[in-house]
Structure 1
Amino acid sequence: MFIDLAKAFGRFKIWEVVCAAVVPFIFFPLVTIQGSKYSDPRVTSYPAKSTVRDWLDSIVWAVVAALIIRTFMFEMYTIPSSSMEKSLLVGDYLIVSKMGYGPRVPNTPLAFPFVHHTLPWSKTAKSYIEWPQLPYKRLPGTTDIKRNDPIVFNFPAGDTVSEVYQSNVTYYQLCRYFGKDKVMSDKKQFGDIITRPVDKRENYVKRLIAMPGDTLQIIDGVVYINGEIGEQPEEMQHNYIVKITGNGINPSILEKYNITEGYRTAHADELIFNMTGKTAEEFRKLPFVTSVTRRIAPAGTEVSEDIFPNDTTHFKWNADNFGPIVIPQEGTTVKINPENIALYDRVIRAYEHNDMKVKDGKIFINGEETDEYTFKMDYYWMMGDNRHNSQDSRFWGYVPIDHIVGKPVFVWLSIDKNSGKIRFNKTFRFVD
């Protein structure tokens, strides 16, 4: 349609056709400003196309169609880490539907096609132009976002990254470890510090655990939503302490039970493995196993600045004992003070773009003193099914609605990262 319209304005050059197809909202206003006249295509004859031009037009059509499908309908995604095992495996190739929750209009419309944030021949060159930036807009979808859905989203803490560490270690973690001044100034160790718009932040996949307005609490590794035990995925994994007779376990045993992560402790007869509850039960029956116990960090121990809200003065939480915490919901108002502001700092500053300062025990938002805040967006709480090997909301907090990309619906290929072989029993399956 846009290509035909460009021709009706007398624009036949390849670059003009490409611009009309890819950025029509910029191309056509410029065409009209330049005074080009519209000719009715039904009564206008156009110059005959050469074979090469015919091929180029076909390629442009194919690229535009693929871009539309990728932007508004489906996108391919590869599982890079084990945070969702055993529900989703490293090496799973997913089809992610954007139509269910409604596709987002791209925040960054001017970008190199079919790549995410970095050009394929470079480790640092951006694949997009930051101007113009469009506001968040989601088109109507076919279903609501629901608790326990697996979801692909843009990593919220990936708004600022170190060129060297990327999202493997967040900029905010680096600032806690080394200090902001060193991170910003030491180019040799950290490289340039890069900011990214929402739709160009790293893609993550986790399970939606809590909805806007839910009260979440984790007690001894068990997730409670609004005071009741939350739904537990069948393939969810935890750390288990395995005590054995002898000095080790034959790798064939680990392969048989599909155990891919583990390590030995300081005790010769003790190992820690990531396992599902079902595998743990089967492991207890092995003749060389003396005990299998789930590893849980007791409340008040293993407290770390890496645990959200990254404030150990006021929040003595860990990955197994956390909360209670209320997930922010659009339109709701909360009381804020210096003791709890860490829970909402990123929401107020980064996601909802306010200027906030804490001074002399008082909170100022956009220059005005206040003791409350009303949320402008809905937020969600995401966790990996591999509970003790997942960087998730327990570490970096809420996921805003404008970061949600879509829902993985189908695994079309699964390749074992160690052997390089196709896992035929995990290929061509729907995602739960």
Structure 2
Amino acid sequence: MKLFGRERPTTAKKKSVIREWLNAGLFAIVAATIIRMFIFEAYCIPSGSMERTLLINDYLFVSKITYGPRLPMTPLAIPLVHNKMPFTTSMPSYSTAWELPYKRLPGFSSVSRNDIVVFNLPPGDTVALEVEQSTSYYELVRQLGREQVWNQFHILVRPVDKRENIIKRCVGIPGDTISIANSVVSVNHQPGFNAPTAEMQYLVQTSGEALNPVRLKEMGIIDEPMPTGQPGQYVCNLSTTDVQAMKNWPAIQNITPYTDQSIADPALFPNDTAQFHWNLDNFGPVVVPAKGTTVQLTSANMPLYRRIIRIYEHNDLKEENGQFIINGQPATSYTFKMNYYWVMGDNRHNSIDSRYWGFLPEDHLVGKAWITWMSYDPEGIRWSRLLRAIR
């Protein structure tokens, strides 16, 4: 239609363009959500617990299809966001008004020993928002008491699939017996796998000189050496390659493995030093629970299984007059409903892992670390790490 010899502008074409953009945007969000949910998900390494297999600010793709994608357990959630709204510190990006039971689609394989896996942090079911992730809510309660923690901090309870994502190496699969003696991990009474890039603690003795921080940085050593108080003596987190290289330094007199021979650490699983005299370098043995297996319940082993029975497998557990009551019935044994795993960081003395919080339930598994697609440090992109398969 013309108005004074000119065509009257119409909004139909503009609406169609806007509609096309909206449709394209909606399609992109739906497609990205499906890919993230069922195929792979991006993940960034936040800490040095897997040094030097994985480095801080390595960006990974995590395969969901290897072990089978886990169906959403908290479906009412903002797409492409994990557990909090962007630009906020604590606002949940999900609602627990509708929750679904755990279910996983078939995958190509089951979890194998030495796989590097991403999972939801088991003790992350309850968090104190003002405290760093490395200090769990449960450790705070043991130190300060529950009442003081709830009065002092903002406490948030999260469902399984909205707990923080963590990455570690699977050391033990269901049914395995895990033990650590003088920092050496054994699986089923045989020496376990130790990645060439894994870091252990060593006692480094120099001729009296301080360790050169520039040379340490050039080698990729990020954990600061700890002086022991003796002249020229340090405890360092090093790989076997680091040890061989440093032995050639003129100032180095000796490098020997350093293990913790101290008393039991109350921060370690199962937080019962009266019965379990364990520390980071001397731990176990523990048997990793397998689905369908039955254990006899005693006061000696209940600390190992209490959280599994009550929290992970949702039973009412009471102890009355030396007897265990599960769901209102006396119980002398328990049959596990899920498989469990034992996971540890490759940076063995700088990792909060199964030694601190115990067994990893299968419903917490997110996927298998697949490939590093980007990596950078303050000096720029680490080109040598791009598109590197993760092992």
Give the TM-score band, short-chain normalised.
over 0.9
Query: What CA distance in whole angstroms lies between the structure 1 residues aligned with 2:212 and 2:248?
Result: 16
- Correspondence for 2:329 among 368, 377, 400: 368
- Correspondence for 2:317 among 347, 353, 356: 356
Code of the residue aligned with 1:263 in structure 2: it is: M
Matched with 1:381 is: 342
Question: Quick check: 1:338–1:358 contact (8 Å CA) kept in 2?
Answer: no
> Structure 2: any 5+ residue segments left out of the alignment?
1-13
How many corresponding residue pairs? 377
Query: What CA distance in whole angstroms lies between the structure 2 residues aligned with 1:81 and 1:68?
Result: 28
- Measured after TM superposition, the shift of residue 166 of structure 1 is 5.4
Code of the residue aligned with 2:149 in structure 1: it is: V
Question: Quick check: 2:134–2:352 contact (8 Å CA) kept in 1?
Answer: no
- Correspondence for 1:110 among 51, 60, 76: 76
Question: Quick check: 1:314–1:340 contact (8 Å CA) kept in 2?
Answer: no
So what's the TM-score if we normalise by structure 1? Answer: 0.85
Mean CA deviation greater in 279-288 or 86-95: 279-288
Determine whether 1:284 maps to 2:243.
no
Change (3 A) 1:356 1:347: same
Code of the residue aligned with 2:388 in structure 1: it is: R
Code of the residue aligned with 1:426 in structure 2: it is: R
| Greater relative contact order, per chain length (Cα 8 Å cut-off, separation 6+) | 2
Q: What do the CA deviations read for 1:152-189 (whole angstroms, capped 9, x no partner)?
A: 00000101111211533111000011011111222xxx
Matched with 2:387 is: 428
- Measured after TM superposition, the shift of residue 357 of structure 1 is 1.4
Query: What CA distance in whole angstroms lies between the structure 2 residues aligned with 1:318 and 1:381?
Result: 16
Correspondences of 1:10-409 after superposition (within 5 Å): 50-165=16-131, 167-186=133-152, 190=153, 192-261=154-223, 262-298=225-261, 301-409=262-370
Query: What CA distance in whole angstroms lies between the structure 2 residues aligned with 1:365 and 1:166?
Result: 35
Matched with 1:4 is: none
Query: What CA distance in whole angstroms lies between the structure 1 residues aligned with 2:212 and 2:167?
Result: 32
Query: What CA distance in whole angstroms lies between the structure 1 residues aligned with 2:134 and 2:287?
Result: 28
- Measured after TM superposition, the shift of residue 285 of structure 1 is 2.5
Query: What CA distance in whole angstroms lies between the structure 2 residues aligned with 1:139 and 1:276?
Result: 38
Query: What CA distance in whole angstroms lies between the structure 2 residues aligned with 1:251 and 1:184?
Result: 42
- Measured after TM superposition, the shift of residue 268 of structure 1 is 3.1
Question: Quick check: 1:214–1:326 contact (8 Å CA) kept in 2?
Answer: yes
Question: Quick check: 2:371–2:389 contact (8 Å CA) kept in 1?
Answer: yes
Code of the residue aligned with 1:89 in structure 2: it is: L
Matched with 2:11 is: none
Mean CA deviation greater in 281-290 or 196-205: 281-290
Determine whether 1:410 maps to 2:376.
no
- Identical amino acids, percent of aligned pairs: 45
Question: Quick check: 1:338–1:362 contact (8 Å CA) kept in 2?
Answer: no
Question: Quick check: 1:72–1:104 contact (8 Å CA) kept in 2?
Answer: yes
Question: Quick check: 2:124–2:136 contact (8 Å CA) kept in 1?
Answer: yes
Matched with 2:10 is: none
Question: Quick check: 1:338–1:363 contact (8 Å CA) kept in 2?
Answer: no
Code of the residue aligned with 1:249 in structure 2: it is: L
Moved beyond 6 Å, runs of 4+: none
- Measured after TM superposition, the shift of residue 124 of structure 1 is 1.2
Query: What CA distance in whole angstroms lies between the structure 2 residues aligned with 1:95 and 1:164?
Result: 29
| Paired residue secondary structure (1:290) | strand
So what's the TM-score if we normalise by structure 2? Answer: 0.94
Query: What CA distance in whole angstroms lies between the structure 2 residues aligned with 1:270 and 1:318?
Result: 23
Question: Quick check: 2:209–2:251 contact (8 Å CA) kept in 1?
Answer: no
| Paired residue secondary structure (1:389) | coil
Code of the residue aligned with 1:270 in structure 2: it is: Q
Mean CA deviation greater in 232-241 or 256-265: 256-265
Query: What CA distance in whole angstroms lies between the structure 1 residues aligned with 2:26 and 2:389?
Result: 33
Query: What CA distance in whole angstroms lies between the structure 1 residues aligned with 2:151 and 2:326?
Result: 29
> Structure 1: any 5+ residue segments left out of the alignment?
1-47
